[in-house]
Amino acid sequence: MLEVLGLTAAAEAVYQAMLDHPGHGIDELAAHCAMTPVEVHDHLDTLGGLMLIRASAEHPGRMRAVSPEIGLADMLSRQEAELAARQAQLAASRAAVTRMVADRAEHRSTHGERLLGMDAIHSRLEHMGRAAAGEVLSSQPGSQRPEDLAASRPADTEALGRGITMRTLYQDATRKQPHVATYAHWLLSQGSEVRTAPTIPQRMVIVDRAQALVPIDPADNRKGALHVTEPGILAALLDLFEQAWNTAVPLGATLPEDPQTSLTHTERELMRLLSSGLTDEAAGQRLGISSRTVGRHMASIMERLGASSRFEAGIKAAHKGWL
């Protein structure tokens, strides 16, 4: 009951025993409280630190309990003084943060909304997460660096803890990347929604459908990002996200094969990309897989089609309506 004041239940039991049996020594207190003498000594140290016991003038070498009216009242007074000091510190800190935010807002209005470097991007993402009132949508193509995921966790934890709805899109390939899969399943465990698809829109984070962060260069998100608030651009980004979301597969679900072709989503998308003229490397980048994996997928497809070349495979796939 008094733990909020720093007094553990066990220490409180020893204190109560000393009040009830002022003549008890260490061994008697230990027997009364069902503790060892060593445990009683430890609790006496705690009680001494809280100034609830003092040296006995009547029994040298022993301690006596200070009456609750004095000892506990003094504890409450000290706690109240510490709380007042802490509140003053918090008020000063809040004022300092308010001034800093105002200064940064003025700086941004002067220098625009281009964010250069990952530190600036992470800082803005933290700010957007704190400002979120209802929803955070994100599309995360390609592989994710472990350090970037680690940097995202505090903001995601804080937002989810406030009941913010989060929907995240990853590529199918990330299901086989342990650190990304671990993070995605952690998001799921916190109440977020996660889906995957063979290809997804460019990297983006959209907060409350009112602001978004997109890379300056989609080919290299580490070069910088652009903070977007214009309604027209936001509407286009939201359409891209929702279209991809509606065709993506929830994480945890088995990726289905097309019953007509026995192709997986990734294989079908790969054939579409290659038939449009993309190289293995370019198609692999779009799908978040390596050129070697592209080759393995195509070898499997050619075997199923009975084709000896990719050209022949393309013709047979078109005849079967696979493209």
Looking at beta carbons, which pairs linking 226-232 to residues 24 or more positions away fall under 8 Å? 226/113, 226/114, 226/115, 227/113, 227/115, 227/124, 228/113
In the chain, how many domains are there? 3
Q: Is the residue at 81 inside a domain?
A: no
Question: What tokens appear for 138 in the block?
Answer: 């994100």
Provide mean pLDDT across the span 286-299. 77
> Could you list the residue range(s) of the whole structural domain that residue 46 is in?
3-66
Of 14, 45, 66, which residue constitutes the final position of a domain?
A: 66
Q: Is the residue at 242 inside a domain?
A: yes
pLDDT band at 223 (very low <50, low <70, confident <90, very high): confident
Query: What is the reported pLDDT for 111?
Result: 40
243 with 143, same domain: the answer is: yes
Q: Is the residue at 100 inside a domain?
A: no
Distance CA 69, CA 236 (A): 69
* 88-138 pLDDT, tens digit each: 665 565 555 445 544 544 454 444 478 787 788 888 888 888 888 889 998
pTM given for the model: 0.48
* 256-282 pLDDT, tens digit each: 445 555 677 777 777 777 777 778 888
The DSSP output letter for 24 is -
